[in-house]
Each structure stands twice: as structure tokens, then as C-alpha cells.
Amino acid sequence: MKYDAVVVGGGLLGLFTALEMLRRGYRVAIAERETLCSGSCSRSTGIMTRQLALRADIIFTDRSIKIVRELEKSHGKTYFKKKGVLTINSRGRVVNRLETIYRSVSVNYKLLDPYEIRNIWNILKVRDNEVGIYTEDDGILDIGSISYGLRKEIEDLGGSIYETCGDIYLKPDGNRVKKTIIC
Ligand SMILES: Cc1cc2nc3c(=O)[nH]c(=O)nc-3n(C[C@H](O)[C@H](O)[C@H](O)COP(=O)(O)OP(=O)(O)OC[C@H]3O[C@@H](n4cnc5c(N)ncnc54)[C@H](O)[C@@H]3O)c2cc1C
């Protein structure tokens, strides 16, 4: 079988890359040395939060959450559980800076003072000079379900998935890959 592209590594990045290419009409294979999502993805807590310090990262996270939600609509599964994320920071410049970024990218957040935090989560120890940033639209990605769903979607679109291949090496020829050996 000939492919237009071979994605090396079947973590979430590889799976989404393959899916995007298949949707654009390319013939794609994924070659994974172990099993799908057995790398960093299998260790990830799966927290998807917009509480980030770079504007671009917040925009990417927002987009990722939308993509996962779209997949849920078409597949009827629960890949993402809305949990709400609370981060406690010292009052002052850092929080002011974060607030400026959040407003510029329309992140829905609440700023909670120590009294409010203790009232809601009474086991938390918060100092008086700290504040909480709470983003209730954030949550946790279920890596197992999403990897299962992506596998199905990729196979339904005619993509091939090769697992337990061992390490794949690409042989470059100028700026083209000349040969890819898959198991
Ligand atoms: C403990 C921990 C907790 C984390 N918690 C979070 C979190 O809460 N939220 C969050 O957003 N991020 C979290 N992360 C980060 C997140 O897991 C990674 O950013 C993400 O999994 C990267 O995905 P990936 O597809 O690039 O990599 P991977 O999941 O590592 O996938 C790469 C795949 O490529 C394969 N591979 C590599 N080289 C080759 C080769 N030569 N040939 C064949 N196959 C190959 C590997 O086996 C692997 O399966 C966490 C990470 C860790 C370690």
C-alpha cells in the first residue's frame, strides 16, 4: 500500500494530524512503536485549562476544546468532562497581567478572594495575600476514550494504523523522505 504521508508516533498529536490529513483526502498511515497513546498521553492528567500565561496558548486550548466537543457531537461520547479549575496565586502584578490576557481573549473566569475560596472549598488553606482564579468552563480530557474514538474515525476514513512497530526511522533524501520502513 502506498501512502501520501506516514505519521510517526500515535499520540494525540499524531492521531489528530492523521485525521486532519485524511479529511483533506490524503492516504495516511500511522506507525507507532508501542500502542496508541502509550507515550506522554498515557501519563497525562488530561487537564484542559485556559489558565495560561501566553495568549497564543489560550487560543490553541480554546480551539482544542471546541474540536473535542465537535467530536462528541458526531460520536455521542463523553471525551471531555467539565470540572472547573482553580489556581491560587499571589495578589499583584502576575494576576493583573493574567486578567489583562484573559479579557483580551474572552476567557470566562472568576477572581475569588481568600474568604470566598475558604467558603466554597473549606479544606483549602489560602493566605490572605492570595487570590484564586477559577475557570468553570475548563475540564478533563478522557485520553482513553478519545484515543479509542480517534482510532475508529481514522479507520473509517481509510487510514491505516500500525502498532508495536518499534522505532521508525525516516531516510531523508534532500527535503523529501525517501523511504519509511513500517512493520
Ligand atoms: C505526568 C504527566 C502529566 C501531564 N498532564 C497534562 C495535563 O494535565 N494537561 C496537558 O495538557 N498536558 C499534560 N501533560 C503533557 C501531555 O501529556 C503531552 O503534551 C502530550 O501527551 C503530548 O502528546 P504527543 O502526541 O505529542 O506525545 P506522546 O503521547 O508522547 O506521543 C508520541 C508517540 O510517538 C511514539 N514514538 C516516538 N518516537 C517514535 C519512533 N521513532 N517511532 C515510532 N513511534 C515513536 C511514542 O511511543 C508515543 O506513543 C502531561 C505529561 C505528563 C508526563
Q: Which helix (H) or strand (E) holds 103?
A: helix 93-104
127 and 51 assigned to the same domain: yes
Report the C-alpha gap between 60 and 68 in whole angstroms. Answer: 12
16, 54, 64, 139, 154 from 80: Cα distances, Å: 16, 23, 11, 7, 20
86 and 119 assigned to the same domain: yes
Long-range contacts of 71-79 (CB under 8 A, 24+ apart): 71/146, 71/149, 71/150, 71/153, 75/149, 75/152, 75/153, 77/145, 77/149, 78/142, 78/145, 79/141, 79/142, 79/145, 79/146, 79/149
10 and 51 assigned to the same domain: no
* Of the residues 125, 140, 155, the one at which a domain ends: 140
* Percent over 90 (pLDDT), the chain: 79
Q: Residue 178: which pLDDT band, with cuts at 50, 70 and 90? A: low
pLDDT, mean of residues 75-94: 89
**How confident is the model over 114-158, as pLDDT tens digits?**
999 999 998 999 999 999 999 999 999 999 999 999 999 999 999
Indicate which atom in ligand 1 lies nearest the CA of residue 169.
41
Among 33, 40, 180, residue to substitute to test ligand 1 (most atoms within 8 Å of Cβ): 40
38 and 92 assigned to the same domain: no
65 and 132 assigned to the same domain: yes
The count of structural domains within the chain is 2
Q: Residue 170 above 90 pLDDT?
A: no
119 and 71 assigned to the same domain: yes
Beta bridge partners, 161, equal 30
Beta bridge partners, 22, equal none
40 and 60 assigned to the same domain: no
Read off the pTM: 0.89
pLDDT, mean of residues 163-173: 84
Q: What is the span of the domain harbouring residue 17?
A: 1-44+142-183
Q: Residue 163 above 90 pLDDT?
A: yes
CA of 66 to the centre of ligand 1 (A): 21
Ligand 1, CB cutoff 6 Å, lining residues? 8-14, 31-34, 37-41, 43-47, 167-168
**How confident is the model over 46-84, as pLDDT tens digits?**
999 999 999 999 999 999 999 999 999 988 889 999 999
Q: Residue 183 above 60 pLDDT?
A: no
CA of 46 to the centre of ligand 1 (A): 11
Choice among 29-33, 117-121, 159-163, 170-174 with the minimum mean pLDDT: 170-174
117 and 32 assigned to the same domain: no
CA of 25 to the centre of ligand 1 (A): 26
* Percent over 70 (pLDDT), the chain: 96
For residue 181, give the CATH number of its domain: 3.50.50.60
92 and 132 assigned to the same domain: yes
pLDDT, mean of residues 11-37: 96
Look at residue 75 in the predicted model and tell me its pLDDT.
87
Q: Residue 171 above 80 pLDDT?
A: no
CA of 71 to the centre of ligand 1 (A): 21
53 and 129 assigned to the same domain: yes
